[in-house]
Structure 1
Amino acid sequence: MNPTDPQTFSHRTAQISTGRLYHFIDQVPSNYDPTQPPLVCLHGFPDSWFGWRYQIGPWCRQGFRVIVPDMLGYGETDMPHDSSAYSPKNICNDISALLDFLAIPKAVVIGHDWGSYMAGRFALWHPDRLIALVMLSIPYVPPKEQYVSLEELVRAYPSYGYQMYFASESSTSEIEANLVPFLASAFRTPEKALSWSKLNELITNKQINFTDDCLLNERELQFYVSRFQRGMRGPLSYYRTTKTRFEEEKEAQLPVHLPPNLPVLFLYGTKDVTCPPSAVRNAHKFISRLNTVAIEDVGHWVMLQAQDRVALEVLRFLSSLGLSQQSRM
């Protein structure tokens, strides 16, 4: 596995029982012990399986099978047109079906950004499939008792204004027409990061052209561009599920607390504006076995800015649960 070359990873596709076609990385170590649970990594927006490229190798070399899907709407995975297909219930059912396809009863699920949100919801929709949970950058938020529209949310928290833009139909074509600068800006360092509302303004006024200060090199950026060239409708649809996910969770009467026996690790960068300290403190109210690790001077893209630290902290967490293996490199 060479993190600079996507083709050096083990690619697979599967038609799962929910009817979706999923593309995923299935990296099986040569010394694989099937009694050890695999690690299933869920990416966020705007990302792909490639976002985990620096962690797949280290985890695999420690004997863990690492499975990393392109999430629904991304890469070579199916892209339904209807935004309701991207609700957490449907995504979690897909992940469970992928485990079924691979004959995996239980796994350690690791998520970043939207993937972190989905990982937390997976613990509610399919608690029997989890051995442990790792969430990166986006802390756990419980299901709401009352519906709060996106408009109400943004009025209360103006910094979430970008979600209104992503939820709008106009964002799809505007971002598709400015894909390179959009991605280059999305993967910026904390010091140079733009608010999504500012990014929206620059896109709309065609004043955006930044490739400097991007966390991706030119080759990586072009790989991401190639992954998104078939369209942004799927990735943006996650932001268009606010009411659907509330209704599904309300109907199912999902609990607000994660299972009390579930070990959870939360990793975040101290310069990540999407992860205020208050949100981290609040998560402790709903998770009995929560460990938090703050990574200093790092922003939202922890897997890129703290490549080795993320890999190491997850291995330490797994070791504390008696799951790690001695390296056999």
Structure 2
Amino acid sequence: MSMNPGDPNSFNHRTERLSTGRTYHFVDQRPAHYTAETPTLLCLHGFPDLWYGWRHQIGPWVRRGYRVIAPDMLGYGGTDKPTAPEEYSMKRLSDDMAALLDIVGVRKAVVIGHDWGSYTAGRFALWHPDRLRALAMLSVPYNPPIPVYLSLPEIVKRLPNLGYQLYLASDASTKEVEANLDRFLRLMYSLVTPDKNMLLEGKLRQVLFHAEGQAPAKKLLLNEKMSNMNGPLSYYRTTKARFDEEKAARLAPSLPASLPVLHIYGSRDKTTAASAAEASRQLIPRLELVELDGVGHWVMLQAKEEITEAVGGWLERVGVVPAKAHGKL
């Protein structure tokens, strides 16, 4: 099947009930010479997105010889949409991803995440370290478990550029975002001018109701599939649940020493500071950093080819390559 980024129906879609009891929709693309040894890339999207956020990378990676699996994450698209915020905790999502790998017959995968998908991928490496061959985190850097609970307002006091999360975590945001969905998506997928800096506390709601002149959002899937925003917004409402799970399990702050890790971020992404990316080196022994000059948060869209090539080259360097790269196919 030919994969056309402009046609979501040209990809191979599956919907399966996992051993965790939750049903996931995902795209599952196999290369022409697929074998049980073919490396699998598990791609986790962020907020607010779908599997479709990977549309420009799936085809090229498959043509390189990788199997690519890209799910609609919990709360999105064709995947289950539980109402309780605690259903979206990182442990539960990580358990879902392990169960998804089980159902597709993959023991270890290269896990690639963007935004909340990046955060989830990092936690998956802590909850299920034996299920990863390598880890790639796009935009959002690795954030370790913390020893003492910090509420979201306390976190925002320390990191003011995360102030927008206070609005998204509020119960009021669900109906307001749903009622202004097209405008909200235009905000999320466009560069916000400095005088309308939606990252700071109190600004996002203000900008949401006074946004003018933003570039149109891609309506092909986003507007149709995101009419129910409770699930996507629930990710921002899990701060305490995540902390309690991690404290109870005594999760280590560092990623496995043997795990190859790639972090790619845009120099114009105001949610990711270069200093935070550099600081993560202390917790990630095998970290490779790539800064994309002039690129913002949506790296898979704004730097399509760069992401494809950066991940592909890194996989070759760390030895995760399809058999045909060794002349076996």
TM-score by length of structure 1 reads: 0.94
Q: Where does residue 295 of structure 2 map in the other structure?
A: 298
Matching residue's letter, 2:278: R
CA offsets 1:97-126 (integer angstroms, 9 cap, x no match) = 011111111000000000000000000000
Distance 1:190 1:105 in 2: 41
Q: Where does residue 73 of structure 1 map in the other structure?
A: 75
Written as runs of structure 1 = structure 2, the 5 A alignment for 1:89-238 is: 89-189=91-191, 194-196=197-199, 197-203=202-208, 206-212=209-215, 216=217, 220-229=218-227, 231-238=228-235
1:221 alignment partner, SS class = coil
Q: Where does residue 55 of structure 2 map in the other structure?
A: 53
Q: Where does residue 90 of structure 2 map in the other structure?
A: 88
Sequence identity, in percent?
Answer: 51
Matching residue's letter, 2:82: P
Bigger shift: residues 33-42 or 10-19? 33-42
2:26 alignment partner, SS class = strand
1:284 alignment partner, SS class = helix
Aligned residues of 2:167 and 2:204 also touching (Cα < 8 A): no
Aligned residues of 1:190 and 1:271 also touching (Cα < 8 A): no
CA offsets 1:273-308 (integer angstroms, 9 cap, x no match) = 111011111110100000001110000000001000
Q: Where does residue 285 of structure 1 map in the other structure?
A: 282
Matching residue's letter, 1:228: M
Written as runs of structure 1 = structure 2, the 5 A alignment for 1:268-283 is: 268-283=265-280
TM-score by length of structure 2 reads: 0.94
Aligned residues of 2:26 and 2:51 also touching (Cα < 8 A): yes
Let me know the Cα RMSD of the aligned residues. 1.6
Distance 2:279 2:9 in 1: 41
- Answer yes or no: is 1:311 the counterpart of 2:308: yes
Aligned residues of 1:184 and 1:221 also touching (Cα < 8 A): no
Structure 1 residue 191: Cα displacement: 5.9
Gaps of 5+ in 2: none
Q: Where does residue 254 of structure 1 map in the other structure?
A: 251
- Answer yes or no: is 1:320 the counterpart of 2:317: yes
Aligned residues of 2:91 and 2:242 also touching (Cα < 8 A): yes
Aligned residues of 1:185 and 1:210 also touching (Cα < 8 A): no
- Answer yes or no: is 1:64 the counterpart of 2:66: yes
2:296 alignment partner, SS class = coil
Q: Do the aligned partners of residues 321 and 155 (structure 1) sit closer, same or farther apart at CA in structure 2, a change above 3 Å counting?
A: closer
- Number of equivalent positions: 320
Matching residue's letter, 1:147: Y
